[in-house]
Amino acid sequence: MEPTNQKFLERVVSQRALQMGSSFPCQICVVGFLCGVCLTSLFLAALTSLGTYGFGGISFSSISMGISPLNSSSEIINVGTSIDCKFKLKETEKWVVSQQRKTESDDERVSLLTEAWGALLTDKADEESEFLQRFGLSKSSIPNAPHLDNCKLSARVKKRLDTRAGAERFPPWTTWKGSLDMFPATAANEQIRHFRHQAISEGAYPPWIVGSDEENYPLTRKVQRDIWIHQHPVNCRDPTVKFLVADWETLPGFGIGAQFAGMCGLLAIAINEKRVLVTNYYNRADHDGCKGSSRSSWSCYFFPETSQECRDRAFELMQTKEAWEKGIIKGKENYNSKEIWTGRIPRVWGDPWSYLQPTTEINGTLIAFHRKMDRRWWRAQAVRYLMRFQTEYTCGLLNIARHAAFGKEAAKMVLATIDREWPKVCSS
């Protein structure tokens, strides 16, 4: 009977417990107990993650736990970990700040060098000097700009390459594009000068043609050389030398492409009639940027189409009625529009355009030949000659454009190669 009574008692207790547990007050107590356990766990976890937080040299974690930190190995580990993390955090912050300062310093140096180069490009020397003095800089302390040309030196060298000098019939086209010719000549170089003159006379090519023959139009080197010789006679006052003086097109609807096309036609007429072409008024150079005799002239942007002696002689003949009557000098009004725009192309070099590779495609087929090939070839030759050398003014304009586009990138490259701190060392 005892086992039966025991089972009966257990059932009664279980049912009573179930009834108590399902009661509302009991459920509230259980939920409150569980919430208290959760809050206590979260509070202790927060204290553990914060580590030691001292008030007057006393460990907050030790007070919260109610024991000394030396009496618990886990507390020692927590304290050491928190100190190590705090140290690494500070070191990371210092590194980030230092990198930010370094970046700001580099940006300032790049901006300073870029502006210094820009100041050197200005035409006003006073403003340039004021800028350099403001930052304690001098021209010698500013690194060279790899993206800018030395316009004064370049113009001087190219002028030598475009001028007959002394008894020589040709410029120094065989002396490394004129660079070696800038050094003083000695008596020992007379033999070299003789061979140089002979080489040029026999067909040395002009230095403004870049690349191999395959990279240029057929006969480009020879044609450019022959045009230069035609436009630069040895003696411009020789009675056999005739001239064609012509203005550039000035009609409002004519762009620079039409102006080039018209001048190419006039150059063709001059070569066919054995005349020296002299260009006169150029409206796109009629502004304050083109100074002195280069104003309203093609020579503001590129080297003139002929020598200054021939220009002076042509303008002198324009004042004499006899020169016009004898045909020694002619103007654009002596030719009609058809002769200028669609006139005969010079044939002194044969028909080199027939060797051009076809580049015109129509319906998927390359056209090997068409009626405009000769005119395209000639206009390319004429424009290349007219734009053979840039003047100092054009070089300066290109420098300004290149600096605006690539100045900062060039400054970064240059500063990356400087071993010393610029500009501190230069200004000290």
CA angle 378–379–384, rounded 5-degree value: 100
Buried b (16+ CB within 10 A) or exposed e, 267-288: bbbbbeeebbbbbbebeebeee
pLDDT, tens digit (0-9, with 9 covering 90-100), for 202-238 = 557 889 998 888 889 999 999 999 999 999 999 999 9
User: Which residues are 207's β-sheet partners?
Assistant: none
pLDDT, residue 209, reads 92
The better pLDDT of the pair 380, 204 is held by 380
- pLDDT exceeds 70 at position 282: yes
pLDDT, tens digit (0-9, with 9 covering 90-100), for 252-270 = 889 999 999 999 999 999 9
pLDDT, residue 385, reads 98
Q: Which uninterrupted H or E stretch holds 193?
A: helix 190-201
CA angle 353–361–347, rounded 5-degree value: 15
The better pLDDT of the pair 34, 362 is held by 362
Q: What is the largest CA-CA distance in the chain?
A: 160
CA distance 14 to 7: 11
Q: Which uninterrupted H or E stretch holds 278?
A: strand 275-279
pLDDT, residue 135, reads 64
pLDDT, tens digit (0-9, with 9 covering 90-100), for 17-42 = 555 555 555 566 655 666 676 677 66
pLDDT, residue 425, reads 52
CA distance 99 to 93: 10
- What residue has token string 């290349």? 384
- pLDDT exceeds 90 at position 348: yes
Highest mean pLDDT, choosing among 83-97, 138-152, 237-251, 344-358: 237-251
Mean pLDDT lowest among 168-172, 252-256, 270-274, 286-290? 168-172
Q: What is the DSSP string of 236-259?
A: TT-TT-EEEEEPPP--TT--HHHH
* Average pLDDT of the segment spanning 394-418: 92
Arithmetic mean of pLDDT over the chain: 78
pLDDT, tens digit (0-9, with 9 covering 90-100), for 60-88 = 444 444 444 444 555 555 555 556 666 55
Taking the CB of residue 396, how many other CB atoms lie within 10 A of it? Answer: 20
Mean pLDDT lowest among 181-185, 244-248, 354-358? 181-185
Q: How far apart are the first and last CA of the chain?
A: 112
Cα distances from 88 to residues 76, 92, 93, 374, in angstroms, run 18, 6, 9, 77
CA distance 67 to 42: 20
pLDDT, tens digit (0-9, with 9 covering 90-100), for 107-149 = 888 888 898 888 888 755 555 566 666 766 777 778 889 999 9
- pLDDT exceeds 90 at position 188: no
3-state secondary structure of 370: coil
pLDDT, tens digit (0-9, with 9 covering 90-100), for 301-344 = 999 999 999 999 999 999 999 999 999 999 999 999 999 999 99
13, burial (CB in 10 Å: exposed 0-12, middle 13-18, buried 19+): exposed
Token representation of residue 199? 């080489």
Say which DSSP state 140 is in.
G
CA angle 178–184–186, rounded 5-degree value: 115
Phi first, then psi, for residue 3 (nearest 5°) are -65, -40
pLDDT, residue 52, reads 45
